[in-house]
Amino acid sequence: MDQNKALSIVKKQITEKRYIHTLGVMETAIQLAEKYGADTKKAETSAIFHDYAKFRPLNEMRQIIVEQQFDPRLLQFNPELWHAPVGAYLVQAEVGITDPEILDAIRYHTSGRIGMTLLDKIIYLADYIEPGRMFPGVEDARELAQISLDKALVYSVRNTIQFLLSRNQTVYPDTIDFYNDLIMKGEDVQK
């Protein structure tokens, strides 16, 4: 799909602030795809549509999770996670994108999973480090992204888990599994 057409579709679904974030994720995803040898067009499309369902009503997202028989554990965790799998579903149903790699990159951009593909990792990290993000540790993650995609991911996932734990919030099991998968493959970083 043409970039301008994709952006115009997404712009109708999200706020102006989120649209600016989406542009940052798109630019970052393209850069990471070029650096690490992923398909830049798939990275671009995945990034553009990654937050497609971000502002859908919670009741609509809950209904889709139940009706489409997504992981029922989702409903026990923070609704912030819901827009990713629901977004993948809606991008296919409403926009007509059927590429399983693009849909998975959208689906797992908030939680991660065991066995993340290169495209999955790029979208997850691009969402985390895009230029508009400002939080403790983001600069370290950006620096690591220039050295090693997996080291940047370990750092980012660890930072996210520590953030959730510091606020006494639950951590979705797929996120823990994603972190463990990276560590068991020998990835680690001291920052």
Q: What is the pLDDT of residues 130-144, one digit of tens each?
A: 999 999 999 999 999
Whether residue 163 is predicted with pLDDT greater than 90 in this model: the reply is yes
Mean pLDDT to the nearest integer, 38-52: 98
Q: How confident is the model at residue 186 (pLDDT cuts 50, 70, 90)?
A: confident
Q: What is the pLDDT of residue 128?
A: 98
**Residue 13: band (very low, low, confident or very high) from pLDDT cuts 50, 70, 90:** very high
CA triplet 127, 53, 118: central angle to 5 degrees? 40
81-125 pLDDT per residue, tens: 999 999 999 999 999 999 999 999 999 999 999 999 999 999 999
When pLDDT is cut at 50, 70 and 90, the band that residue 190 belongs to is low
Give me 126's structure tokens. Answer: 């691009």
- Give the phi and the psi of residue 48 in degrees, each rounded to 5: -60, -40
Q: Is the pLDDT of residue 191 over 60?
A: no
Residues 119 and 108: beta-carbon distance below 8 Å: no
Closest CA relative to residue 124, chosen from 116, 134, 114: 116
Choosing among 1.10.3210.10, 3.30.230.70, 2.60.40.1940, 1.10.540.10, the CATH entry for 3-184 is 1.10.3210.10
* Residue ranges of domains in the chain: 3-184
Nearest 10 degrees: CA dihedral of 57, 134, 153, 69?
0
Q: Which of 60-69, 92-101, 135-144, 182-191 has the lowest mean pLDDT?
A: 182-191
Q: What is the mean pLDDT of the chain?
A: 96
Percent of the chain with pLDDT over 90: 96
Residue 188 above 80 pLDDT? no
Q: pLDDT tens digits for 21-34?
A: 999 999 999 999 99
Distances (CA, A) of 7 to 1, 45, 47, 83: 10, 9, 10, 18
When pLDDT is averaged across residues 145-155 and rounded to a whole number, the result is 96
